[in-house]
């Protein structure tokens, strides 16, 4: 009886070892897949793949509308359901924070001012993180270069606030957060955008928060 008693656990262990290897391999594969999905999801939420250029709080992806678009950017475009501008059409800059790096909040007022890069035509507006226009009572979603009110020297500024403001005003509505999009049409910017000086680009400054 004692011999049988001591041999039985050994036999059970021998039978169980091959299955343990399979279980370990399956667990490792499952963890690897989960990490891969999480990293891919984070990459898709963070931006539009590789080739990003930054100018202060503004970011752009020149390859987004070209043949050189990478798989991450292609997946992000499909996920968000947007139609990017072609390389020959223009360039889109997106700002998710102010010029000091703080995230843009719907409860705060902001001042956007400065000089946008040279372009035949440009638009600027507010949107959600996914790129959808923000609903607001004024039903104004942005300005164009031909309609924005300017000073005598050609400069302009836009106030972002929930309540109405004089001159150029945009409202984020009830959104808790938002992004600012600047679309440049028929612009010569591309690789040269890497050398843009943030001090001579549009600035986004927080004024106050409710």
What are the percentages of helix, strand and coil residues in the chain, rounded to 5? Answer: 30, 25, 40
Least confident span in 71-80, 94-103, 174-183: 71-80
Q: Is 90 left (phi over 0), alpha (psi -120 to 50) or beta?
A: left
Q: Give me 102's structure tokens.
A: 């703080």
CATH of domain 48-209: 2.60.120.600
CB of 99 closer than 8 Å to CB of 184:
no
Is the pTM of the predicted complex or chain greater than 0.85? no
pLDDT digit string, tens, across residues 48-57: 555 678 889 9
Instruction: Answer with the residue of higher pLDDT: 119 or 43.
Output: 119
């Amino acid at each position: 009886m004692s011999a049988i008693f001591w041999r039985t656990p050994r036999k059970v262990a021998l039978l169980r070892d091959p299955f343990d290897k399979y279980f370990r391999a399956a667990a490792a594969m499952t963890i690897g897949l989960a990490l891969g999905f999480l990293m891919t999801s984070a990459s898709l939420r963070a931006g539009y793949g590789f080739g990003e250029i930054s100018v202060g709080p503004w970011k752009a992806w020149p390859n987004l509308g070209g043949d050189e678009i990478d798989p991450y950017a292609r997946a992000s475009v499909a996920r968000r359901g947007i139609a990017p501008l072609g390389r020959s059409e223009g360039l889109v800059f997106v700002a998710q924070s102010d010029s000091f790096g703080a995230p843009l909040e719907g409860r705060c007022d902001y001042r956007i001012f400065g000089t946008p890069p040279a372009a035949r035509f440009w638009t600027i507006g507010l949107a959600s993180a996914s790129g959808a226009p923000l609903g607001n009572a004024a039903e104004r979603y942005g300005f164009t270069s031909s309609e924005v009110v300017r000073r005598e020297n050609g400069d302009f500024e836009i106030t972002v606030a929930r309540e109405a403001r004089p001159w150029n005003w945009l409202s984020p509505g009830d959104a808790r957060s938002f992004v600012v999009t600047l679309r440049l049409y028929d612009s010569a910017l591309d690789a040269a955008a890497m050398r843009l000086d943030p001090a001579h680009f549009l600035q986004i400054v927080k004024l106050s928060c409710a």
